[in-house]
Amino acid sequence: MRPNRPTLMLCALTLFAGLFVCDSAIAQNEGEEAAAVTAKVLVTNLLNPSGLAIQEGTGHVFIANRHGVYRYLPAEKDRTKRIAIEIHTPGNDVYGKGPKYDVGPLGVAFIDGENLVVGDGSRKDGAEFVRVYKVGTESPAEAAKEDSAVHTLGPITMKEGVTAKGEGNFYGVAVGGGAIFVTCNGDDTKGWVSKSMITDGKPGELLPTIATKEATSVDAPVAITFSPDGKDLVVGQMGEMTVPGDSLLTIYDPATGKLKKSYKTGLSDIAGLAYSPKTGKLYATDFSWADTAKGGLFELTIDGDEVKATLVLKLDKPTAVAFDKDGNLFVTEFGSAAEGGTKNPGSLSIIKAGL
Amino acid sequence: MENTSDALCGRWKLFGLTAGLSAILLVFSLAFGLQAADEDAKSAVPAGLGKVSHPKDNLPTAEKISLGKQLYWDKRLSKDNTIACVSCHDPKKGWSNGEQFATGVDGQKGGRNSPTVLNTAYGQFQFWDGREPSLEAQAKGPIQNPIEMAITEKAVVEKLNKIEGYKQQFQKVFKTDVTFDNMAKAIAAYERTVLAGNSPFDRYKAGDKKALSEAAERGRYVFFNKALCSACHAGPNFTDNGFHNVGIGMDKKEYDVGRFAVQKLGGNRGAFKTPTLRDIGRSAPYMHDGSLKTLEEVVEHYVGGGIDNPFLSEDIFPLKLTAEEKKDLVTFLKEGLKSGDYPMHEAPKLPE
């Protein structure tokens, strides 16, 4: 899809001047715990944000959305400096058949305090990359260009017996066990999680490693994280967008790729997963494509072979979640455009420590 | 029957033991009613399939399943006593009916091909557009549909209550006279016994690498890889239970909107439920509109990438399959997914 001139101008405005830093509370959950959990909007006018990573040391929040990766500085007193474009990615692809969403980079995660992994979603399957950028502790004077990455992994092209159409839509990124793991959302026959081993600080070839569809009969691995002890790779498999309640929480051995456990969650489309560093509790966002009114933040409690999903907070097409070291939870939402509105509906919010 | 000689041999070895156990079980069954039959009804699942879930308010019993089978076969459930469920969902025709569009009362034709009843027990949605969530709800639809069985709820209940054999069975099973809800429950309980599994593919997957012929094995590989069939036809029932626009009928000015009529998401336009592929060789013609007469035509459709349209599934695009790969793929579908113990039910004796 090739953007026209007005679109480009709008993009430029959005990139460099259009983001809004907010202070208003937007939502709270319903029922008994209505007063317990609230989210505060930090940034609006994002376009389809889907990835979050917190930088060690600075606490800066990196947000992947249609136009690139932004850096949000929670402690910055000057509101005009609180958010800035870090990496500009001009490409664009469309996710979904209706509704359709323009997407760019999808997933982000840090290898360490300065190496940020970015999963691409802005190209066709078989042509996308996973890139590693070196980022500093301050916002750069100028946004980094997409091809300024220090390491570029992929693409994963069509290969007999591996992928018949090429992999892509690198939605989620997790780093652990000496490797980068990336969920892939392109080839629905395999539902690959790909892996790049890190040797001497350098990531190796990105290889399709865990065929989640073959392991569970459900595809679309999207959310990915490590268990608090680092021993388990924890994946949210979205399943069919048109089918409610089919999302799985799956646990894989990061070393062997072997499925250790698969749980039916009753959620429709798990898009984000994160463990609280304070309580050890696991949280998931449900985008709920078929019925977005049911989307929200859920606590997942594993009890034997069962998982119980408890609604914490209703959200509008929520995607990524990430905790900072103090236990504050950041969450992104695609949101819904206001009628006649000119601003992008995406946002970043925070739920103060307590989860 | 698709049993291998090894399996047959094993069965003969077990025969003596089985016969002895059966005799003991028979005594217990006679002594304690139909408890054993009820358990069979709950647990008789062919190899390769998962457990069947039953609604809490419609647990199966042998009597209920038997009643449901009679109702399923009984043309008196239609306005003019000419159409039964089995008229459009016939075991001899893959539990579909062999026509592009089935014929209802007064010779009327519908606009969609009769979906198979095979393994609908596992369906999260019923009908091609998934408009009903359960077999109980589904069973009520065609009976009242003016171009299918065309009878009202009141009329069919009155008619069945005049048949003493039904009245007695409803009393025994449900402790009521005939009601519309209980009629649907009995039919649904019966339909949950219509299961297709234990195919060469299931035996192959269980470790018998000779269960598939060489051609079927090659076709299996094409199915799960190059042809991308498993993007949608996945899991034990070869369906993701989802809805996809696969480029069928989309060249018509007023195409069938499918799932969109139920759920108003743009991507649902022209999308229909992924059907099971179990025993697919028996249920021609194919697709929601019955427009493709053979599996060879189906494969050619997908190789061509379907009729291009804005809602076409991203997994549908032109494929590069050789003539041999196409042939092997059809062989896998016909032979590899053919049940070893296909539910070729016969018509029951109907009550008077």
Give me the DSSP letters along B13-70: HHHHHHHHHHHHHHHHHHHTTTHHHHHHHHH---TT--PPP--TTS---HHHHHHHHH
Minimal C-alpha gap between B269 and chain A (Å):
9
In the predicted structure, residue A117 carries a pLDDT above the cut 50: yes
Cβ–Cβ below 8 Å for B259 and A242:
yes
Gap between the Cα atoms of A174 and A282, Å rounded: 15
Q: Which two tokens stand for residue B112?
A: 């969609």
Is residue A2 a part of any domain in this protein? no
Is residue A46 a part of any domain in this protein? yes
Gap between the Cα atoms of B142 and B140, Å rounded: 6
Measured between its terminal Cα atoms, the distance across chain A in Å is: 41
Q: Which CATH number belongs to the domain containing residue A66 in this structure?
A: 2.120.10.30
Q: Which two tokens stand for residue A252?
A: 């894989």
Summarised one tens digit per residue, pLDDT across range B1-22 is 333 333 333 333 333 444 444 4
Report pLDDT for B34. 37
Whether domain B200-336 has CATH 1.10.760.10: the reply is yes
Residue A242, chain B, CB below 8 Å: the answer is yes
- Partners of residue B231 in chain A, C-beta under 8 Å: 187-189, 219
- Classified by CATH at the fold level, domain B62-191 comes out as Cytochrome Bc1 Complex; Chain D, domain 2 (1.10.760)
Gap between the Cα atoms of B274 and B232, Å rounded: 7
Domain count within chain A: 1
Nearest by CB to residue A99, choosing from B265, B271, B317, is B265
Characterize A96-123 residue by residue with b for buried, 16 or more Cβ atoms within 10 angstroms of its Cβ, and e for exposed: ebeeebbbbbbbbbbbeeebbbbbbbbb
- Partners of residue A246 in chain B, C-beta under 8 Å: 124, 241
Q: What's the rounded mean pLDDT across residues B31-54? A: 67
β partners of residue A299: A283, A310
Q: What's the rounded mean pLDDT across residues B273-285? A: 98
Q: Which residue of A has its CA nearest to B123?
A: A243
Q: How confident is the model at residue A22 (pLDDT cuts 50, 70, 90)?
A: low
Cβ–Cβ below 8 Å for B225 and A160:
yes
Structural domain containing residue A243: 18-351
| Residue B122 near residue B50 (C-beta atoms within 8 A) | yes
Its ipTM equals 0.88
In the predicted structure, residue A173 carries a pLDDT above the cut 50: yes
DSSP helix/strand/coil, A80: helix
Is residue A120 a part of any domain in this protein? yes
- Partners of residue B267 in chain A, C-beta under 8 Å: 96-100, 241-242
Q: Mutate one of B53, B124, B223, B225 to test the A interface: name it (highest A CB count within 10 A).
A: B225
Is residue A193 a part of any domain in this protein? yes
pTM equals 0.88
Q: Mutate one of A240, A264, A294 to test the B interface: name it (highest B CB count within 10 A).
A: A240
Nearest to B184 by CA among B151, B152, B141: B141
Residue A98, chain B, CB below 8 Å: the answer is yes
Is residue A4 a part of any domain in this protein? no
Query: CA separation (Å) from B240 to A56, A139, A223?
Result: 41, 45, 20
Count CB-CB contacts under 10 A for residue A67. 27
In the predicted structure, residue A323 carries a pLDDT above the cut 50: yes
Q: Which two tokens stand for residue A307?
A: 């998982």
- The separation between CA B249 and the C-alpha centre of its own chain, rounded to angstroms, equals 23
Report pLDDT for A353. 87
From A137-141, B15-19, B225-229, the region with the lowest mean pLDDT: B15-19
Q: Which residue of B has its CA nearest to A245?
A: B124
Q: Which residue of A has its CA nearest to B270?
A: A97
Is residue A30 a part of any domain in this protein? yes
Is residue A7 a part of any domain in this protein? no
- Partners of residue A161 in chain B, C-beta under 8 Å: 225
The 8-class DSSP code of residue A328 comes to: -
- Partners of residue A189 in chain B, C-beta under 8 Å: 224-225, 228-231
β partners of residue A71: A62, A84
Cβ–Cβ below 8 Å for A164 and B313:
no
Alpha helix stretches (DSSP H) within chain B: 5-31, 35-43, 62-73, 85-88, 135-144, 153-161, 164-174, 180-191, 200-205, 214-224, 295-304, 323-331
In the predicted structure, residue B87 carries a pLDDT above the cut 60: yes
| Residue B199 near residue B338 (C-beta atoms within 8 A) | yes
